[in-house]
Amino acid sequence: MMLTQTISRKFSVLLIASLALITTACGTNPVTKKKEIQFVSQNQEIEIGKQNYSPARQSQGGDYIIDPELTEYVQGIGKRLGAVSDRPDLPYEFVVLNDSVPNAWAMPGGKIAFNRGLLYELNSEAELAAVMGHEIVHAAARHGAKSMERGVFMQGAMIAVGIGAQNSNYGNLIVGGAQLGAALTMSKYGRDAESESDLYGMQYMKKAGYDPAAAVTLQETFVRLSADRKSNFIDGLFASHPPSQARVDANKVTLAKVGAGGEWGKEVYAQKTAKLRSTQAAYKAYDDGVKALVAKDTAKATALANQAIKGEPREARFQELLGDIALTEKKTDAALAYYDKAIKLQPDYFKPHVQSGIALYNAGKKAEAEPFLKRANELLPTAPGHALLGAIAEDRGDIDGALKHYSVAAGSDSEYGKEANARGVRIDLPRNPSKYIQSGAVADNAGNLFAVVQNNTSVPVGRVQVRVVKYDGKTGRAIAQSAPMTISGGVAPGKRNQIAIGEKVATPQEAQLYKVVVEAAEVAK
């Protein structure tokens, strides 16, 4: 079997184990108070959120650390709403992510994130509370947990999200358990879940002292923005929380029931987001610079990166962009210097670490690359991080270590993943040929027996050595075996080859008494 298939199964088994989907249980939804089948306990919800919160944040630009007062402000609003929710005992956490796409998401266990880009678009604390309340309900009402129970993530657990602004080239490189975190943040809830989040979110707003009318006006704004399909909300919040006139109308009904009135906080919101707004142009230049680099216009990308740095010299992502530009131009020393600046500005973000490792590896400095790659994988496991660590381990003769890294990297549908899969097969197939080569005995129309092998790898296989064992149909015991036979001519990926056994059977069923054992094989040179 291919390493990628192994990873997929391991991931599914890990996910099943993490959810403990062994027995069913009936419970009461803590928000709606309705009876429902629950597979995921509160402790499991909390653990899922705890394990996936950090890698999910890494995969979406990392935390926005330039203005800690802004983060404290957002956290304060979140705690205020969480305290009046139906699950005030959840260990809520709130963070601002360094991503320009307007978006917000909630994980099981109360782990919630807001993109920097969303905060630009809101105009009051009440509007922020409206979005916050909505996300808190997603966590409190077990919407993420219920999606997992229905098997949503079992079917599509290999979802990966764009890393950094404008979906950079790391989008499909997340591997291992971090893929679950990516899937959780991309969850698209059903209409009922969205309606529940609107309804109870407005109730939480009222209890916390905010004017729930902000939820109505905000949805009206979202409907207008979605009408032309050009808003950058389309790639963010609207992708998982689609607005509609029906939601506006439902919110108006809820408003009539709970009553308008309460805080709007326009002035305080303007004050708390002033620093963020003052650097919006710098981040716009950065986003445009990323696009220019993707288009291979390094001169334009460099100018935009420097413009961004001028507007906000404390931002690590801007130095990182200059490093990416230098790496593209094969200026290794310059790239490493920029990545070093980025790491010093924000040590706990994965990308400058993995990029430093790649740059050093490409320069032949593998020993120096290793600690950068290891640190990057601690923050967010990626295909290049594991693939290059696998190559380093293979070079030093640590075959088992290399295979572990290659198998993780192979979980990515990328060039790094494909190369890691091929390298893993090349070193493991000679040791465990039957793991990769399927075998069996078949008879032709004349009853002649053939030993058939199929190459289930992505690399061509050369010589294959097999032995045929015959079993007694009554006792099931082996009664004879052939001498080793060599199937020459090679076997292409996904193809078959065969060799005549030299025996005949009277019926096709008799062929089942013969087993073909793959004893040795080698990758074609």
pLDDT score of 82 more than 90? yes
Q: State the Cα–Cα distance between residues 105 and 111, nearest whole angstrom.
A: 8
pLDDT for 36 = 79
pLDDT for 232 = 61
pLDDT for 54 = 93
Give CA torsion, residues 323, 328, 329, 335, to 10 deg. Answer: 20
Q: What integer best gives the mean pLDDT of the chain?
A: 87
**How open is the CA angle 473-479-481, to the nearest 5 degrees?**
120
pLDDT score of 477 more than 80? yes
Q: Which letter does DSSP use for residue 482 in this model?
A: P
Helices 316-328, 332-345: crossing angle, 10 deg rounding:
170
Mean pLDDT of all residues in 384-399: 96
Q: State the Cα–Cα distance between residues 34 and 146, nearest whole angstrom.
A: 13
Q: State the Cα–Cα distance between residues 392 and 189, nearest whole angstrom.
A: 43
pLDDT for 48 = 87
pLDDT for 25 = 67
pLDDT for 244 = 74
pLDDT for 84 = 96
Residue 503 dihedral angles phi and psi, to the nearest 5°: -130, 160
pLDDT score of 498 more than 80? yes
- For the chain, percent of residues with pLDDT exceeding 70: 84
Q: Could you tell me which CATH number the domain at 278-428 has? A: 1.25.40.10
pLDDT-derived band at 131, boundaries 50, 70, 90: very high
- 132-189 residue pLDDT tens: 999 999 888 887 676 665 654 433 333 333 333 333 446 678 887 666 666 666 666 6
pLDDT for 223 = 79
Q: Which letter does DSSP use for residue 483 in this model?
A: P
Q: Could you tell me which CATH number the domain at 433-523 has? A: 2.60.40
pTM for the structure as a whole: 0.85
**491 forms bridges with which residues in the sheet?**
461
> Which of these, 364, 369, 400, lies nearest to 385 by C-alpha position?
369
**How open is the CA angle 288-292-294, to the nearest 5 degrees?**
115
- 206-247 residue pLDDT tens: 999 999 999 999 888 877 776 665 556 545 455 556 667 888
Q: Domain limits of the chain?
A: 3-276, 278-428, 433-523
**97 forms bridges with which residues in the sheet?**
63, 115
pLDDT for 194 = 83
